[in-house]
Chains A and B, each alone.
Chain A
Amino acid sequence: MSGAELLALLPVLILALGATGLLMVGAWWPRRQPLLLSGVVLALLAALVAGAVPPPVPEISGMFGAGPYARFFTILWSLLAALVLMLSDRYGDARRFPAGEYPTLVLFAAAGMALLSAATSLVGLLIGLESFTLVLYILIAIDKTSARGTEAGLKYLIMGIVATGFLGFGIALIYAATGSFHFPEIHAALVRQDGSAALSLLGWAMLLTAIGFKVSLVPFHLWTPDVYQGAPAPVTALLSTGSKGAVFAALVGLLFGIGDNLASLIPVLWALAAASLVVGTFCALRQDNIKRMLAYSSITHMGYTLTALLAWGETGREAVIFYLVVYTAANIGAFGVLTAFAIQGEEPQNYRDLRGLGYHHPRRSSALAFFLLSLAGIPPTAGFIAKFNVFHAALQAGYTGLALLGILASLVSLYYYLRPVIVMFLARERDLCLSPGSSGEHAVVVVCLFLALLLGIYPTPLYALIGLILP
């Protein structure tokens, strides 16, 4: 690896090396707050470097891109890590998260996500994906006092290993069929279709299965609700946004330029999207626990993202990226509020715990309501424009059926997104005073609120940015 390539990798290096440093310091000087703060600073620094230092080479070792697209996601996931760390201050204190390890793991996760989003080869894809899922296994189970957390970690581990198996096998088959790991060469080989189409198709199917597990598309979604519920709220925030968004970002890179060469995949993707929309929606409807509801609804959101991806073309890819950003903001915001509500021994998760919170904690409850409305896609929230893009792309590409299904899912989704709002504001009040929340948590909620509102009424800056980075 040349010096230029190392320089191009600098933001990820800051995250990874910084995290290692924090781990060492944590071993000798286990003070939670300063270490968390250093983690936030490192993540922000990585984001700043990714934005300010132009990469000297377009690609790193033929594995990761260093172009604007890769940089955009490096910034996004670094900021996500910073937000998650800011959320973890009081929450981590109450649950005695290990001082050094926790921020280290979050930063590692961000580095892994950044690498995954930037992957330009199947090896890069594997490295990126594994480097952050490995971290997530630990993060999910980091609250050692919680039996649910341990169980969730174990579940995610087992599912993750299966997915890795599929991924490795799929990569091997695609390599066997095309003779390369590098995306552009794979595409070129596909165009030639030199007698190994069946092998390659099997490889793609395995790859898609692994990805289905990672982003919890139906029917690979069964782990999602348990893991979401069991993981600590800030970790769930990371899990539900970054880990899925990074995979989709990689998918956009992977499938870009594939054109009609994999037309046989389209029905499969269509079915995955449709099933995710339907099953996610109807399962979310039945939940009494807000984290489980968000878990199932995330399956629906992945269905929307896949719909946009299917629509392909510039509009489709633009819709995917827009959706990921907006979904990340709203989801982090929602989990941010849940984190802020959580106190020692009680994390209000069931709807009955939220009763009347709208009057005891009007600002945070209103924020949660706003995030839920954004996830539901009601104007003037950013979620509306994001869904609009998806439907726009789907109709443009001729997927009217999928668009109609999306509309129906959207309508039903309203019911489960409104339920917490109803419980908070419309149900009879209950005397429940939770902690006032820390400044870090409030800052995260404000940032997400700002994004969810601004992108709803004035999305132009994000469109412009996406226009610049689109591969």
Chain B
Amino acid sequence: MTTFPVLTTLLLLPLLGTALCLLFRRQADLCREIALAVTLVILGFSIWCFTFPAAADGWILSESYRWIPRLGARLTLEMDGLSLLLVALTAFLQVIAVLISWHQKKHPAFFYALLLLMECGILGVFLATDLLLFYLFWEMMLIPMFFLIGIWGHGRRVYAAVKFFLFTLAGSLLMLLAIIGLYLLHGRQTGDYSFALEALKATDCGGLEPWLYAGFMLGFLIKVPVIPFHTWLPDAHTVAPAAGSLDLAGLLLKTGVFGILRFAFPLFPAAAAASLPLLATLALVGLFYGAWCAYVQNDVKRLIAYSSVSHLGVTMLGLASANVPAMEGAILLMLCHGVTTGALFALVSMLRRRTGTRDLDRLGGLWKEAPVFSCFFLFFALASLGLPGLANFSGEFLVFVGAFRTVPLWGALAVAGVVFAAAYTLRMVQGSLWGERPTRGRPWPDLTALEVIALAPLVLFTLWLGLYPETFLAPLHQPVRLLLEQAAPLVAVNGGMP
């Protein structure tokens, strides 16, 4: 472990970037460079974190400072294997987000400032282990996203932005009540009023446990999003700018799953154990419903948005299966989905910039006119579908194995879901790449060098995640084992540790 405050730096860097962008708001090029430089430095820091060994309690790095002594809240930031991977994913995707928004003409300084501010919020969510601090970051990431959708979106952007904001806030406000409730319970029992996750785990919630758990879960499930709380997602995705969609799919949705793993399950293991069948049901419904909705969409971006609902269904099934392979698979799938779906959203935005449409009926024949674009698109579409050797396969496979081990029926149903995934993916590829273009006109230009540079790392990671996922699974073994050990009732439901 190092004495350098890495985690605090990780949070301060994007804030610094935001301030710089606002300061030099009249120099668009400088703002772009600042954003790129800051995101690259953050990426460097997150890679550096891989070099630190984990302690026996699972934490790789931890920092804690005084914050609000009156309430017992501390500025506690901690990183274990799980947060490490998500922090790295955030840092990585934000670099891509800056690169694919390089052409941003409308208020560029404000755009990059918001992008960086959101990075701070997301990193904070993954690192905070003080519940009040976590909540602060949890809400903080909403505001930049609201503006990103509302200002730079297209179509019904205001409607989508407000819907996004209200939906997610509704959940998180109930979570706030649950946080305060838990805090008061713990304080009354021990005399120590604290928001520290570790301390709160020991709280005896008694009859209130299901209510508190429900409060937390509602906040997280809306963010995931699990059916029936998903309706904000397609709207938000469809209108968001490229970087916004990338962040939404790649990062924001992950904060919900992360919250369940880090907070909801360990804090309320008994209630969580009781809720597993319900969670699995919701997950499976989401898997099929999302896939079906994706299949009937004509708008490519909306199609991918619904496919996210479906993929997140598989992830949730992994959590609901509550054993080592399923949970590791679920987390791995989060990473894979972040990379592949993020790439698809970026590609669709590039497509729209070229063709002016995302409507499958008005697309087609891209393979002939823009071969490089088409190669990338096909590659990521196949990865998203779960082709062996590419990213999503490894995660999904582990989830299926885990689900079979818990309730074979869940596993069987989930595997059947892959057929649906194939259906909508192939329809998307067929409609856009093959055949003839319905309307004549100037040929669509292919990807520029900058776009290829932005996408190339995503290709690399898609292959890496698919061919040798152990690199990413290794940091997960200990946290997942600890999680399942601590939340003993979770495991007991499924007949002990595998």
Give the B-binding residues of A (Cβ under 8 A).
359, 362, 373, 378-380, 384-385, 388, 391-392, 395-396, 403-404, 407, 410-411, 414-415, 418, 422, 425-427, 457-460, 463-464, 467
Contacts and interface: CB of A to CB of B under 8 A. Distances in A.
20 contacts: A378-B142, A379-B139, A379-B140, A380-B140, A388-B132, A392-B184, A395-B180, A395-B181, A404-B177, A411-B173, A414-B169, A415-B166, A422-B150, A425-B150, A426-B157, A427-B158, A459-B70, A460-B70, A463-B68, A463-B70
A407 B177 contact: yes
A384 B177 contact: no
Among B110, B135, B143, B157, the most chain A Cβ lie within 10 Å of the Cβ of B143
B423 interface: no
Contacts of B169: 378, 411, 414
B45 interface: no
A53 to B, nearest CB: 28
Interface in B50-87: 67-71
Contacts of A457: 136
Interface of B: 25, 67-71, 107, 110, 132, 135-136, 139-140, 142-143, 146-147, 150-151, 157-158, 161-162, 165-166, 169-170, 173-174, 176-177, 180-181, 183-184
B147 A425 contact: yes
Contacts of A425: 147, 150-151
Given A388-B176, A403-B177, A411-B173, A459 B68 contact: yes
A404 B174 CA distance: 8
A116 to B, nearest CB: 27
A403 to B, nearest CB: 6
B18 to A, nearest CB: 12
A64 B140 CA distance: 43
Given A379-B136, A384-B139, 16 more contacts: A378-B143, A380-B140, A384-B136, A388-B176, A391-B180, A395-B180, A395-B184, A403-B177, A410-B173, A414-B165, A414-B166, A418-B146, A460-B67, A460-B70, A463-B71, A464-B70
B422 to A, nearest CB: 39
Nearest to A387: B176
Contacts of A410: 173
Nearest to A460: B68
Contact of A415 (B147, B151, B162, B184): B162
Contacts of B166: 411, 414-415
A391 B162 contact: no
A467 B176 contact: no
A407 B176 contact: yes
A250 to B, nearest CB: 25
B411 to A, nearest CB: 39
B177 A378 contact: no
B165 A388 contact: no
Contacts of B176: 388, 391, 407
Report the 4 A-B pairs with minimum CB-CB distance, sorted nearest first: A463-B70, A426-B150, A379-B136, A379-B139
B135 A407 contact: no
Nearest to A391: B180
B70 A426 contact: no
A395 B464 CA distance: 50
